[in-house]
């Protein structure tokens, strides 16, 4: 590694500390073990500015499901930039309408309508506003350790340790334990507008719902006239081997929020899909969620290509096969180091391994980075190392990932 590259990294850290936040630089040191500054990236590989190479097992929380710099998406973006621009959100747009049609056709059930947004967090805002508007009710039941973004409704639904400094928060948020249908039933009353959840929780450590939970939740909402909102921003868009994660459990919500991977790794775009019950309110108040950059024409063209690639049956089959290959590797590691790798979870490439404590999780996270895996622990479950590689990953790349993970585990055990 040349002095020039090391100097580039140091300069970037200094500039970040000066003009963004010194705390941000310290946080990256604590997270990665050093001031990791991103450099070039392609496919499943990302480099830092100093030339170190990593298999990207973070994917920015799901942004890079198609890997970095996917050539087909890049070509669409280049053409779109030549032929159009953002467009005016207030005006009707054929490009936006065609993208909405594609999303509706890709979604199961009667999720036939779309409100576009720039980020998943903004789309969550739209969904919660629509739920209150459509039902005339106030309360929204959410799940402990959920992540729905850190604005408005999403911030109010975040763990208390996250949102305590920012009160007063949006009222009417009623948190319950994830996976506990009796807790939902007790919390539901005549003023409940919606239940908002991730079908599979990402930031809580790739948690999967107990058998029968989502089906019971759907039935409970139906009995009480409550809308069911699924946040698919992290677990959706193919991550679990289905385009929408809730498809794994045979349910269809009243609203589904998508984002991150929808932009193909190139463009920020998100959306809230909804059914006819919600449409009745949106038709009455068509500007209930005005948003300057929502459904931009460039964004919709990029998203159309990303959606086409993400819904390809061959890609989804690869997700299932590579997920199973990873799971077998986790089981082998657990057999070798049962006191350190105490478990794993996997649905498609929604995966990771459990360590005994947050402290061991942090040591493994640093070791993973040292051995060329960009894999961080779950924000709300720091004992769990999240491993979310791009969905395009191949069998040889999975084997290399497992080799690096194995070396990181051995390193951590040896230094414990």
Taking only the tens place, the pLDDT of each residue in 146-189 is 999 999 999 999 999 899 999 999 999 999 999 999 999 999 99
Tell me, what's the pLDDT at 152? 96
Query: How much is the pTM?
Result: 0.96
Tell me what the mean pLDDT of segment 258-271 comes to. 98
The band of 5, judged by pLDDT with boundaries at 50, 70 and 90, is low
For the range 28-37, what are the long-range contacts, defined as Cβ-Cβ under 8 Å and sequence gap of 24 or more?
A: 31/365, 31/376, 32/365, 32/366, 32/369, 32/376, 33/365, 33/366, 33/369, 33/370, 34/369, 35/9, 35/10, 36/369, 37/8, 37/9, 37/12, 37/13
Token pair for residue 226?
């409550």
Q: What is the mean pLDDT of the segment spanning 244-264? A: 98
Angle at 131 between CA 125 and CA 133, to 5 degrees: 100
Q: What is the pLDDT of residue 8?
A: 85
Which two three-digit tokens encode residue 17?
């500390």
Give the residue-averaged pLDDT of 401-410.
Answer: 98
What would the pLDDT profile of 270-293 be if each residue is shown by its tens digit?
Answer: 999 999 999 999 999 999 999 999
Q: Name every residue whose Cβ is closer than 8 Å to that of residue 234 and which is 6 or more positions away in sequence.
A: 61, 62, 147, 198, 202, 203, 260
Integer angstrom CA distances of residue 371 from 15, 354, 368, 377, 406: 27, 19, 5, 16, 9
CA distance 404 to 375: 11
Give how far Cα 20 sits from Cα of 14, 15, 389, Å.
Answer: 10, 8, 29
Burial zone of 55 (CB within 10 Å; 0-12 exposed, 13-18 middle, 19+ buried):
buried
Q: For residues 235 and 258, what is the distance between their CA atoms, to the nearest angstrom?
A: 9
Domain 3-17+33-69+313-414 indexed as CATH 1.10.3720.10: no
- In this prediction, what percent of the chain has a pLDDT beyond 90? 97
Model confidence pLDDT, tens digit, residues 103-130: 999 999 999 999 999 999 999 999 999 9
The backbone torsions φ and ψ at residue 66, rounded to the nearest 5 degrees and listed phi first, read: -95, 10
Strand partners, 143: 176
Match 């073990």 to its residue by tokens: 33
Q: How far apart are CA 77 and CA 142, in angstroms?
A: 36
Give SS3 for 357: coil
Same fold, 3-17+33-69+313-414 and 71-310: no
Q: Is the pLDDT reported for residue 190 higher than 70?
A: yes
Contact criterion met (CB below 8 Å) for 199 and 226: no
1 has pLDDT over 50: no
Return d(Cα 58, Cα 63) in angstroms, integer: 9
Nearest to 103 by CA among 293, 234, 228, 261: 261
Check whether 392 has a pLDDT greater than 70: yes
What average pLDDT score do residues 202-226 get? 98
Contact indicator for 228, 221 with CB cutoff of 8 Å: yes
Instruction: For the chain, give every domain's residue range.
Output: 3-17+33-69+313-414, 71-310
Mean pLDDT over each residue of the chain, to the nearest integer: 96
Of the options 3.40.1190.20, 3.30.43.10, 3.40.640.10, 1.20.1050.140, the CATH number for the domain spanning 71-310: 3.40.640.10
pLDDT at 7: 77
């Amino acid at each position: 590694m040349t002095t020039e590259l090391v100097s580039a990294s140091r300069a970037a850290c200094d500039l970040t500390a000066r003009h963004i936040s010194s705390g941000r630089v310290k946080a990256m040191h604590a997270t990665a073990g050093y001031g990791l500054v991103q450099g070039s990236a392609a496919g499943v590989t990302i480099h830092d500015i100093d030339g170190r190479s990593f298999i990207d097992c973070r994917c920015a929380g799901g942004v890079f499901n198609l890997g970095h710099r996917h050539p087909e998406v890049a070509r669409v973006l280049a053409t779109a930039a030549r032929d159009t621009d953002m467009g005016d959100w207030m005006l009707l747009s054929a490009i936006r309408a065609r993208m909405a049609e594609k999303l509706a056709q890709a979604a199961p059930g009667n999720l036939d309508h779309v409100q576009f947004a720039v980020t998943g967090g903004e789309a969550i805002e739209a969904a919660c506003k629509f739920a209150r508007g459509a039902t005339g009710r106030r309360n929204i039941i959410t799940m402990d350790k959920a992540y729905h973004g850190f604005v408005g409704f999403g911030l109010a639904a975040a763990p208390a340790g996250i949102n305590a400094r920012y009160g007063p928060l949006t009222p009417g948020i009623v948190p319950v334990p994830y996976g506990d249908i009796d807790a939902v039933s007790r919390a539901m009353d005549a003023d409940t507008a919606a239940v908002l959840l991730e079908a599979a929780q990402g930031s809580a450590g790739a948690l999967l719902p107990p058998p029968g939970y989502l089906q019971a939740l759907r039935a409970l909402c139906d009995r009480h006239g409550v809308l069911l909102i699924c946040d698919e921003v992290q677990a959706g868009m193919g991550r679990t081997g289905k385009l929408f994660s809730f498809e794994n459990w045979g349910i269809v919500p009243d609203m589904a929020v998508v984002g991150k991977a929808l932009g193909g790794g190139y463009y920020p775009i998100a959306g809230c899909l909804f059914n006819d019950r919600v449409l009745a309110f949106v038709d009455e108040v068509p500007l209930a969620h005005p948003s300057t950059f929502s459904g931009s024409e460039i964004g919709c063209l990029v998203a159309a290509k990303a959606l086409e690639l993400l819904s390809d049956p061959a890609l989804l089959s690869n997700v299932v096969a590579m997920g199973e290959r990873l799971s077998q590797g986790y089981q082998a590691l657990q057999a070798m180091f049962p006191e350190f790798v105490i478990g794993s979870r996997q649905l498609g490439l929604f995966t990771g391994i459990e360590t005994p404590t947050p402290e061991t999780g942090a040591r493994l996270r640093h070791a993973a980075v040292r051995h060329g895996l960009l894999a961080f622990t779950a924000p709300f479950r720091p004992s769990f190392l999240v491993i979310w590689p791009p969905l395009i990953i191949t069998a040889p790349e999975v084997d290399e990932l497992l080799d690096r993970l194995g070396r990181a585990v051995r390193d951590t055990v040896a230094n414990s």
